[in-house]
Structure 1
Amino acid sequence: MRLENTGIEDAMVDVKPLDNLMGRNAFIRAGQWDYERVTYDYKIGSKEKNITYYIRIQGYAIEGDVDKGNAVIKLSAPLLGKHYYPHGVEYGEQENFPENLVERANGLVAKIKEEIETYKK
């Protein structure tokens, strides 16, 4: 599920401060990157058997190189996904997400938006 009108879509931020602020907010990049793209995930546990939710924020380098740490990242609309063990994460509109989870996701992304304002290019 795309989280629309969050205010971070199309924001451009240097990768180093972006990594820092995302990490402070528990959005983890880990090994989810290549030379041109980054993906940050926020994991939300669930009482449902074998289900975990993720808020995913992705971006791509409009200049520089992620590996060298000199990239300028343009962010995309955040996604809310549901991980089905062992099959993977589904982001489709046909997925049902609890209202309180959607509200939590929007709140977390709003916090990220506030912090990104400091670093936007």
Structure 2
Amino acid sequence: MDTRTEKVLAMILHLSAFLSGVFPIVIPLIIWLLKKDESQFINEHGKSALNFQLTMLIIGAGAIVFTLFTFGLGAFILIPLAIILGLFSLIFVIIATINASGGLLYKYPISIELIK
């Protein structure tokens, strides 16, 4: 696989975070599973993007459970935190995409390493 194709696929892996529903996880998972053995670059970016999206999913699910257990009162704490986390997520995805386009690897600073 040539480097240009690898860079574009790596960018798609990260930019899929801006899609709604389950697509931020499904699209990178499909690309990663199909190309991880062909390209170390795609393998690393795929794992990084998937780990970040799974981390965001876990944090979001935890926030919903916390809000339910506090009968909605937890929302007063979680809404400002969600806004801050959303901004950081946006910034991290943009940085990861820029790094991918330049042929560099990027590890998200807020990410649980579920896929190794």
Fold in common (TM above 0.5): no
Q: Larger helix proportion, structure 1 or 2?
A: 2
> TM-score, normalized by length of structure 2?
0.32
> TM-score, normalized by length of structure 1?
0.31
Q: Larger strand proportion, structure 1 or 2?
A: 1
Between structure 1 and structure 2, the one with the greater Rg is 2
